[in-house]
Chain A
C-alpha cells in the first residue's frame, strides 16, 4: 500500500513536471542528458559518502589508539552524513559542469 502510494505520487509529479517542461519547450535529448548528470551526481555522492565514512572511522580509531578517550564507532553511523555527502556530490558535479561549460566541452557537455 505504502509502495503504491509513493509510486502514484511520484508518477503524478513526474508527469506534471514533464508536461510543464514540454510546454516550455524543453527537449527530450536534454532530458536524457539531465538523467545522466543526475546519475553522475549520485555516483559522486556515493564516493563522497564512502570517503567520509572511511575517514571518520579512521579518525575514531586513531583517537582511540593515540589518546585515552573512548569514541564510539557509531558516531560515524549518521544519516546526516549521507545527506551532506549527497550535497557534496551535487556541488562537485555542478562545479564540473559549469567549469566544462566555461572551458567549452571538458567533462560534462554543454
Chain B
C-alpha cells in the first residue's frame, strides 16, 4: 500500500469512527482547515509571496515641493520616553524633507497618552535637537488615521495650506493618502518604512505578512465603515 493510500485509509477509518459519534463533518472541516493553514504558512515562509503582496500594496515616493510636511503618528514612545523605531523613522524622514527645503512647516501627529514625554513631545524635542526652529513645528493630538485627516484639516486649512507631503509607512500610505485627499489636500507621498517590503528571510516574510494583513483588514474596515 502506498503512503497516500495509507493516509486515505486512516482518514476513512477516522471518519467511520467519528460518524458513530456524529463528529465526522466537524473533524473533516478542522482537518481541511489545518491543511490549508499549514500550506499557507509554508507558502508564506518559504516563497517570495509576501514580498510580492507587500510591494504591490506599497505606495512609492512622489516627492515634490509642498506647503507642509505631515508626519503621521505610529508606534508611540517606549516606557523610558524614547521614540519607538517606527515613530523615530517617520519623524526623521519628515525632518530631513524639511531640511531639504521641500516644505517650510513640519506637522507631527500622535496620540497623547498619560505617559511623559508623549510621542508628540518627544518628536518635537527631536526636531529641535536636529535644528528645526520651534516656530516651524506644529503638533496635533490624534487617535486614528481618519482622526488625523480631520484634525490636520482643521489645523492647516485655515492657514491656507493645501499641498502636503505625507509621511507614513508605504503600506499605510494608500489609506492615509485617500483620507487626506478627501479632506481637501493635494498629497505627495513620502513613505518612511521601519521594515523592508522585501524580506529575504523566513521570519521577515512572516512579519511582512502580518503587516500586510493588518493593512488589508484596516482598509476593509475603513471601506465597510464608509470612511474610504
Contacts and interface: CB of A to CB of B under 8 A. Distances in A.
Interface of A: 2-3, 6, 28-29, 32-33, 35-36, 38-47, 70, 72-74, 77, 79, 96, 100, 103, 105-109
Given A3-B202, A36-B10, A36-B14, A44 B30 contact: yes
Nearest to A96: B23
Looking at chain B's contact residues, is the secondary structure mostly helix, strand, loop, or mixed? helix
Interface of B: 6-7, 9-11, 13-14, 17-18, 20-23, 26-27, 29-35, 37-38, 45-46, 111, 143-144, 200-203, 210, 214, 218, 221
Given A36-B10, A107-B18, A6 B202 contact: yes
A24 B152 CA distance: 69
A107 B28 CA distance: 11
Contact of A2 (B11, B22, B35, B202): B202
Nearest to B6: A32
Contacts, number: 86
A33 B10 contact: yes
Q: In terms of DSSP, what is the predominant structure of the interface of chain A? A: helix
A39 B35 contact: yes
Contact of A43 (B14, B30, B144, B201): B30
B29 A43 contact: yes
Given A106-B20, A106-B23, A107-B21, A39 B202 contact: no
A41 B14 contact: no
Contact of A70 (B13, B33, B143): B143
A46 B21 contact: no
Contacts of A29: 6, 9-10
Given A3-B46, A3-B202, A79 B30 contact: no
A32 B9 CA distance: 10
21 contacts: A2-B202, A28-B6, A33-B14, A36-B10, A36-B11, A39-B31, A39-B34, A39-B35, A39-B38, A43-B32, A44-B34, A70-B111, A72-B143, A72-B144, A73-B221, A74-B214, A105-B17, A108-B18, A108-B27, A109-B14, A109-B18
Contacts of B14: 33, 36, 108-109
B223 to A, nearest CB: 15
